[in-house]
Structure 1
């Protein structure tokens, strides 16, 4: 994926200097009017292009020269959301240490934390939380990362997030909370009792029961009826 496919010749030259480690030449070009925070063809940014080249030294230099880890593509994605679930967490650390927002949200209104959770990447989750990511940030439908992990059937991650303070009482826009998700999985036999995942599900259930949650929980339908009676907007 050549830079010429996406950027004007002047920016291609800047990127070449950066990849070759020529900081002085790259800085001179930037002083002369070039900008690392632009959109090239197909909405790619110079920083994202360098990340796609898997060139850590070049990315580090670009950040030093002013590339903004929070600079968004037109669709809303940025470099943080692009690497948050990456198995190689050096990328995430590099961007966060350069001022990247740990609460970045992608085009689907999903926080970066969801990308790490979706990949089952506990190290990336830890890194985001250590950089003050909100463990209870929500996506478009109002689910937090804990509910997302339960929805994708990763109860090891659910338990992990519970240990890191995730709010198990939170309800999404449908009225569902973690207890309902666990109840649904168990009552419908959606998790094999012989699997490791079942053990994590039961640990998660026990954890919230010890915190005062009762089973069976209210259904989302029952919760929505309560919200409607209380006059909650939209219900």
Structure 2
């Protein structure tokens, strides 16, 4: 067998003059499937050497085989878990590990070597830019992995298929399947060019591919969609670009399932509030996504949890296994996440159902700081209900929860009762203060603000004076007990205002022709979920 190690122009001349078969395989770098053209390109021979070989009419689309690990160039979705919490977030993490023979054409090798001059020469000699090969990336995928934009453009100009899916059959390192003691290659994953560009965080390549007709929702076997890859890699710019160009924020695979989680849940898991907001603005499913609030609490992410609750996520949703009860609150209580506990309580976390079949919420009253948080919430809500009766925005169900003393000593009960009376008096005094004082320069009292429904709140938060006061830090000092509830009402009003502004922006031509009172009447029939669905429809059309 011929040996092509150290091949150069002089050796090529001698081989050709000796009359060797130009397509005969030889050995190069311990691989015995190279042709002389493969070897010359791989060894970075000068262009005159390549021209000399091409002058002998070789098979420019001949394939050689190269064996190696599939994961050596980060082909898989190895979404690194770098959030410093020592966990393995989910099944999407971890590298895709395996070995495979890959079939390389001379064009593949020229691309890996970034030899644009040879690529152009091969095209001039009928090299196939879309050569169909098993167990190997397409030529375009290979170019994307070099991150050479000029090379990618050259292939696209030559007609490279932007939606071709390359499949790999892999012999796994960790687990091999046997039949009569013979390893069986397992077809694991497919890769479209958009997957490779997204995984490499190459926004410029993503833009090139989309502009050339790449399908933003292309599905490849056992591989996530490009949008999900970008979310997992926390790449806001690519996520935004894909969404702007038609990526489906709620897309499932052909079997009707998500790969792992929906993109929204992965964004929460990655602690990226900016991406969470972006996905929701493009219609990410929130109504039936009980997992989202659960993940935010698991990640101890107060800001994301607060944002989800402001959107109206159910804080009493059953957990991922369908267990009933105050699951989000239970999770926060178990982790002693005090900020999130208070947030859940303000947003209506139910204190009445049992935490487990053997333990009710009452048991939590015996645990130090949790004792104080829960009792304070029950009392402040109880006093507020005494004054208002029923509120639309503020959940008052906790007022019905009994504060247990059954297992306490007599002395402890007396101390608790003194504290309860004292705190209840403080609540009364603060409510009276809210009744007396107006918000900023407005003529609306803090107390009356609490009593407004969502449609009225949307109007009042437009008042600059009210918005300045309730969005500032001074409110906590003025009303230490009820400031969180006041802020929560304010934020719900702001959300309503923002949703209406988006609708008005899209329908300005129509709404401007209607009397303002009619517009207000129309919007009064639409809940926030209705507005979100409407906005999603308007963006898609």
TM-score between both structures, scaled by the size of structure 2: 0.33
Where do residues 1-235 of structure 1 align in structure 2 (5 Å cutoff)?
A: 4=42, 7-9=104-106, 19-20=116-117, 23=120, 25-30=121-126, 34-39=127-132, 42-74=135-167, 75-138=189-252, 141-142=257-258, 143-170=261-288, 177=289, 179-183=290-294, 185-186=296-297, 190-192=298-300, 197-207=301-311, 209=312, 213-222=313-322
CA contact (8 A) 2:265 2:295 kept: no
CA contact (8 A) 2:145 2:200 kept: no
Secondary structure of residue in 2 paired with 1:103? coil
**Greater RCO, 1 or 2 (C-alpha within 8 Å, sep 6+):** 1
Relative distance call for 1:14 and 1:35 in structure 2 (3 A) is farther
Q: Which runs of 4+ in 1 moved over 4 A?
A: 2-6, 10-18, 39-42
Secondary structure of residue in 2 paired with 1:133? coil
Relative distance call for 1:53 and 1:219 in structure 2 (3 A) is closer
Q: How far apart are the structure 2 equivalents of 1:106 and 1:126?
A: 21
Shift in Å, 1:162? 1.0
Secondary structure of residue in 2 paired with 1:43? coil
Secondary structure of residue in 1 paired with 2:191? coil
Q: How far apart are the structure 1 equivalents of 2:204 and 2:108?
A: 26
Relative distance call for 1:191 and 1:14 in structure 2 (3 A) is closer
CA contact (8 A) 1:85 1:118 kept: no
Q: How far apart are the structure 2 equivalents of 1:117 and 1:68?
A: 25
Relative distance call for 1:90 and 1:50 in structure 2 (3 A) is same
Give the CA RMSD over aligned residues. 3.1
Q: How far apart are the structure 2 equivalents of 1:52 and 1:10?
A: 14
Q: How far apart are the structure 2 equivalents of 1:87 and 1:65?
A: 24
TM-score between both structures, scaled by the size of structure 1: 0.71
1:130-162 superposed Cα distances (whole Å, 9 cap, x missing partner): 211111112574342112323444444222211
CA contact (8 A) 1:37 1:67 kept: yes
Rg larger for? 2
- Segments of structure 2 that go 5 or more residues without pairing to the other structure are 1-37, 43-65, 67-102, 168-188, 324-541
Relative distance call for 1:29 and 1:109 in structure 2 (3 A) is same
CA contact (8 A) 2:231 2:267 kept: yes
Shift in Å, 1:86? 3.5
Relative distance call for 1:206 and 1:21 in structure 2 (3 A) is farther
1:143-197 superposed Cα distances (whole Å, 9 cap, x missing partner): 4211232344444422221122211124xxxxxx2x33314543xxx334xxxx4
CA contact (8 A) 1:180 1:219 kept: yes
Count of residues in Structure 1 that have an aligned counterpart in Structure 2: 200
1:9-38 superposed Cα distances (whole Å, 9 cap, x missing partner): 476569889712875x454323xxx32123
- Segments of structure 1 that go 5 or more residues without pairing to the other structure are 171-176, 224-235
Shift in Å, 1:119? 1.1
Relative distance call for 1:184 and 1:20 in structure 2 (3 A) is closer
CA contact (8 A) 1:81 1:105 kept: no
Structure having the higher strand fraction is 2
